Amino acid sequence: MKRLQTLLIFFLAFSSIAFAQKDPKAKEVLDAVSLKYKGLKGMKASFDFTVTDAGESRAQSKTGEIAIKGNKYHLKLPEQEIYNNGKTVWTYIETDGYKEVTINNAGEMQDELTPSTVYTIYQKGYNYRLVGERTENGVLIQEVELTAEKANAPFKRVKLFVDKNKKDLTGWEIYDDQGGIFKYKFKSVNTNVDLPDEYFNFNPQKYGKVEIIDLR
């Protein structure tokens, strides 16, 4: 009887820990954001982007633009553009007049955290919790923290920031397994834009002479 009681106590304690790892309040927030994202025809946004490498205190700051339609996206950064049409990914780089595009199959980059998968990353491989709420420029922001279930995950921790009333993602932070920190914060967002599929294909004629590295 004592052994049965001990097992029951252990089971209840383990269940409480497991339940805490999947915070239902956080899931409610994440599900609402994911549902709204899936219902969009398309979106375009400008953002601020900062990178802090491991062991460094000074962050490198950049600005960029992103267009998303389902699992397709077109990301623009200084000296770099990434096109993903859901099947093929083109990474275009231009520095000092040198132009290069690397081509990969989208399926080979499933473990990457992309502008489209950030809305659904919590659904597999992560625990999550609602950290709290705060007001920024009159907007009520909810912070949700995701932590990787596996020790060898490329992203140890991800923080998502959500407009509580609009259910929009306003920014996110990524902490990788090398100690790097990547921060994104939307500046302007258009969630009602109809983008043609061609917008997510790389057109080499647009860029002139480009070295092509096809890794498919």
- Residue 148 maps to a domain: yes
Residue 151's pLDDT is what? 82
Residue 149 is part of a domain; what is its CATH number?
2.50.20.10
pTM of the model: 0.79
Q: Which domain holds residue 31?
A: 23-214
- Per-residue confidence at 113, pLDDT binned at 50, 70, 90? low
The three-class DSSP label of residue 197 is helix
- Residue 168 maps to a domain: yes
Task: Give pLDDT tens digits for 144-190.
Answer: 999 988 888 778 899 999 999 999 999 999 888 778 888 989 988 89
- Residue 195 maps to a domain: yes
- Residue 58 maps to a domain: yes
In this structure, the dihedral spanned by the alpha carbons of residues 95, 110, 146 and 70, taken in order and rounded to 10 degrees, is 90
- Residue 14 maps to a domain: no
Q: Average of pLDDT values for 84-98?
A: 91
CA distances (Å), origin 50, targets 41, 59, 114, 127, 199: 28, 6, 16, 25, 26
Q: Looking at the 3D structure of the chain, how many domains does it have?
A: 1
Q: Which residues contact 135 (CB under 8 A, 6 or more apart)?
A: 141
- Residue 15 maps to a domain: no
- Residue 113 maps to a domain: yes
- Residue 5 maps to a domain: no
